[in-house]
């Protein structure tokens, strides 16, 4: 752990796993899984949330089902601790994964109808429109149905 602090050590480990994945190191998946196991042992909700994010992030290419599961659990955990920024980031990655590997409509509906604020609302609607189009659904089927602001974006 970082200077004897298990929480800071876990933050460092989850960040290291993410950075290693970005650098193309697929062994980052194992590091992230170890971090999640250790985070549960520590029991700190913020550390668990970050570890879930790291597992979701590092597994997105090789195990999208595990990635989706961890992003969903992470969104719930980030909600408990009030980290709206990480909820937003996690939803973006979750929706992209579901557009590629599953049906993104549930995540899209949860994201766009979730806690709203003026800064993120238009960005959410644009992403929802694009993700829905990528998934092969018409705008008339999804959570942006009837919203003329997002058509053609």
Q: What is the pLDDT of residues 53-112, one digit of tens each?
A: 999 999 999 999 999 999 999 999 999 998 888 998 998 899 889 888 877 777 777 667
Contact 98, 60 (CB under 8 A): no
pLDDT at position 135 over 80:
no
Can you tell me the distance from the alpha carbon of 120 to that of 138, in angstroms, rounded to the nearest whole number?
Answer: 23
User: What is residue 24's predicted lDDT score, i.e. its pLDDT?
Assistant: 95
pLDDT number for residue 128: 58
Exposure of 143 by Cβ count < 10 A (0-12 exposed, 13-18 middle, 19+ buried)? Answer: buried
**What pLDDT sits at residue 114?**
61
pTM beyond 0.75, yes or no: no
End-to-end CA distance of the chain: 46
Residue 152 pLDDT exceeds 70: no
Would you state the pLDDT for residue 54? 97
The larger pLDDT score, comparing residue 123 to residue 39, is at 39
- Provide the pLDDT for residue 49: 96
């Amino acid at each position: 752990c970082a200077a004897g602090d298990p929480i800071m050590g876990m933050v460092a480990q989850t960040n290291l796993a993410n950075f290693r994945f970005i650098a193309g190191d697929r062994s980052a998946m194992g590091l992230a899984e170890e971090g999640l196991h250790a985070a549960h042992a520590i029991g700190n909700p913020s550390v668990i949330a970050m570890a879930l994010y790291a597992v979701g992030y590092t597994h997105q290419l090789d195990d999208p089902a595990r990635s989706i599961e961890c992003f969903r659990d992470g969104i719930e955990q980030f909600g408990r601790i009030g980290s709206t920024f990480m909820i937003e980031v996690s939803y973006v990655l979750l929706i992209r994964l579901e557009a590629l590997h599953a049906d993104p409509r549930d995540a899209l509906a949860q994201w766009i109808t979730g806690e709203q604020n003026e800064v993120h609302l238009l960005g959410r609607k644009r992403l929802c429109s694009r993700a829905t189009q990528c998934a092969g659904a018409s705008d008339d089927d999804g959570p942006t149905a009837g919203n003329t602001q997002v058509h053609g974006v």
